[in-house]
Structure 1
């Protein structure tokens, strides 16, 4: 009796198994076709039609390598809107890297100090923004340190908390006492 039941169930089970295998093969073929199309778009730096963030990020990198900076920045901005957390972070770091490289190149090759300063400030802001999201990114930390060495942040020192001289702490008074009251530029600091 059990053998008869098994014989009856065998053809429908085989048919179901064949249908599942066919569906899996179709799904793999579809995924492969999509990946091949994405690879073609990335290789040609074509604008992706479907807005896939991975493709946009790869396209932005290719555009940057081709020197098409404005288009690359546009794609990086789109990745920050459409991508997941990892892709958004990668886009932020890549934009900061782009600004750092451009700042160094402008200062070295073109000699435009003001533009280089702006680009380096943008790079530092980009690295800080990326590090707020992922403080464990050591590459971004290293690049921020490099940008800091090229253009250190100068923080103005405020000796008074509220502007009232009477509220100065003892540590601040000692620190302020090291400064001279002499008029003019100190020797050795020309």
Structure 2
């Protein structure tokens, strides 16, 4: 028993003697690899922040589908504000794969706002038929956004506005220039929580 106890420290010293040069050589290499990785992350984040700032300032910047989620959201908002929704769709799909629910919700709300603006433009021009699907798409985007971020009050309000637009469209069979008949039952709006009848 005594010889085994005395030989154990000797074996450890011998093993450490064999591995010591490897460990001493590997430590600086591991430190260098860590420093390079940190430098790469800082460089990536700096570029991402510059791209986000440029997009928010209204400067167009190309963004690939492999960009970080925050950059994808900034690009989606930029495109939605300019009604370039066909370009935004692939970025929305990429954000849906990798982005946090809060970022995905903001992207859906931006799309809903763009669709609702398009619908209002069609309605102001008297084009009711093309406005209907735009309102439907806006409502769909708001619902998706609210599923991901239920506390988004602006999306709730805009969803309510979009829902009322569809319900309150004038009758489609009416001829051009024909006056609409006033319906006394529809004088007051159906505000949730308000009793029907007198105000």
Question: CA contact under 8 A between 1:48 and 1:55: conserved in structure 2?
Answer: no
Question: CA contact under 8 A between 1:76 and 1:95: conserved in structure 2?
Answer: no
In the alignment, the residues of structure 2 paired with residue 130 and residue 93 of structure 1 have an alpha-carbon distance, to the nearest angstrom, of 6
In the alignment, the residues of structure 2 paired with residue 61 and residue 188 of structure 1 have an alpha-carbon distance, to the nearest angstrom, of 41
Stretch of structure 1 that moved more, 145-154 or 132-141: 145-154
Question: CA contact under 8 A between 1:80 and 1:92: conserved in structure 2?
Answer: no
1:112 aligns with one of 118, 124, 127:
127
- Structure 1 residue 124 and structure 2 residue 125: aligned? no
Name the residue aligned to 1:33. 43
CA separation of 1:67/1:122 partners in 2, compared to 1, >3 Å: closer, same or farther?
A: closer
TM-score scaled by structure 2? 0.56
1:85 aligns with one of 87, 98, 101:
101
Name the residue aligned to 2:113. 97
Question: What count of residue pairs does the alignment treat as equivalent?
Answer: 139
CA separation of 1:66/1:142 partners in 2, compared to 1, >3 Å: closer, same or farther?
A: closer
- Structure 1 residue 148 and structure 2 residue 135: aligned? no
In the alignment, the residues of structure 2 paired with residue 111 and residue 38 of structure 1 have an alpha-carbon distance, to the nearest angstrom, of 42
Identify which of structures 1 and 2 has the higher relative contact order when contacts are C-alpha pairs closer than 8 Å and 6+ apart.
Answer: 2
CA separation of 1:128/1:153 partners in 2, compared to 1, >3 Å: closer, same or farther?
A: farther
Deviations 1:72-130 (A, max 9, x none): 2332232122212112222222221221111112222x432111111111111222233
Q: Which runs of 5+ in 1 are unaligned?
A: 1-15, 155-186
Deviations 1:136-170 (A, max 9, x none): 2212111111112322289xxxxxxxxxxxxxxxx
Q: Which runs of 5+ in 2 are unaligned?
A: 1-26, 55-59, 170-180, 185-199
CA separation of 1:147/1:27 partners in 2, compared to 1, >3 Å: closer, same or farther?
A: same
